[in-house]
Each structure stands twice: as C-alpha cells, then as structure tokens.
Amino acid sequence: MTERMRVRHRPEDVFELVSDVRRYPKFIKYLSALRVKDEENFGDVTRLVAEAVARYRFVSEKFTTAVTSDPTARTVEVDLIEGPFNTLRNGWRFEELDDGSTLLSFEIEFEFSNPLLQMLLSANKEKAVHFLIDAFCAEADRRYETVGAAEYDGSDDIVTQRVAK
C-alpha cells in the first residue's frame, strides 16, 4: 500500500520526526513501549534496531525492526527482524515541494503470521495506515512551524505537479 500527501512542514523537520523512533510511544496511541537495542552510524546514515510493544484491545505483540535513516536521501526504511509478522516493511520519503512544504510518500507491506490478526487488520488496513500517518502529521503540527502556500491546502495540484516532474 502506498500513500502520498502534502505536509505543510519542511522535509528536514518531517524526516527528523520519523527518524526519532524513541519518541514514538509519546504520540502513537497503540505503541505502548519502544527501546533502541542497537545503534550504528555509517557517515550520515543511522541504523537502529528497535524493539516495540503494540497493544490494541485484547492483543499485545512485541516486534523488532531495523530502522535506517538517511538524511541526504531523506528516507527512512523499516524492516522486520523478529515478531508476529511474516512480512513487515515500510518506507518513508520526504521531497521538498516548490513552496517549501513536503511531499510525503509512505509505503507499507505487512502480513501477520497469525491468521486471525491478519484477517482483522486486512479488513482495516487503509484505516490503520491513515491512523499512523495522521499521528505523525499531528505531531509535526505540534512540533514544527507551518510552511507552504495555504492555497494548496486540500488540493492535489502541487502534489500532482511534483509527481509529474
């Protein structure tokens, strides 16, 4: 699943927010805990191994991911190491639009190893992805200055222009 949207914050700010995994439990409702188990730097690129606990209603699951943040490319990639998934991979890309705002691209692929969990989330996959993106956008609104032209709010024109380039 891929989502693209305009975010009225600078790409550097949105990248910083998504890269700051240690603070996720403060603004992602169903993420009850997260700890960084390992951190390596390769020049500007940072690779973290993070263990998280997600809770939703009667279900609590622990999983471990590798999170690679590249500020030059403005990308954050997340890959499953261990957990209740057959597959978990997501990627974030932050491109600067002409008005200084961000074209946010988010791709996610996941499949639970538990058929019941897979069935429950598959039925609500789009809603779950929007919930996650909305949590990041709300936190960006709280932390960062708004940039970009208000006339593009609610319009796909500026995003379409950028994607077409």
Distance of CA 60 to the CA centre of its chain: 20
Residues 6+ apart with CB under 8 A from 1: 107, 108, 109, 125, 126, 129
Backbone conformation region of residue 90, classed left if phi is above 0, alpha if psi is from -120 to 50, else beta:
beta
pLDDT of residue 143: 97
pLDDT of residue 75: 98
Q: 130 in helix, strand or coil?
A: helix
Backbone conformation region of residue 43, classed left if phi is above 0, alpha if psi is from -120 to 50, else beta:
left
User: Which two structure tokens, joined as six digits, stand for 154?
Assistant: 């609610």
pLDDT of residue 115: 82
Kindly give the confidence (pLDDT) of every residue in the chain, 165 residues in length, as a single tens digit, with 9 standing for 90 and above. 899 999 999 999 999 999 999 999 999 999 999 999 999 999 999 999 999 999 877 778 899 999 999 999 999 999 999 998 899 999 999 999 999 999 999 999 988 888 877 777 777 778 888 999 999 999 999 999 999 887 766 655 555 444 433
75-82, strands of its sheet edge to edge: 2-7, 102-112, 85-96, 75-82, 59-70, 45-56, 31-42
What CATH number is associated with residue 86?
3.30.530.20
Distance CA 105, CA 133 (A): 10
DSSP state of 127: H
Structural domain total, the chain: 1
Full residue range of the structural domain in which residue 141 is found? 2-164
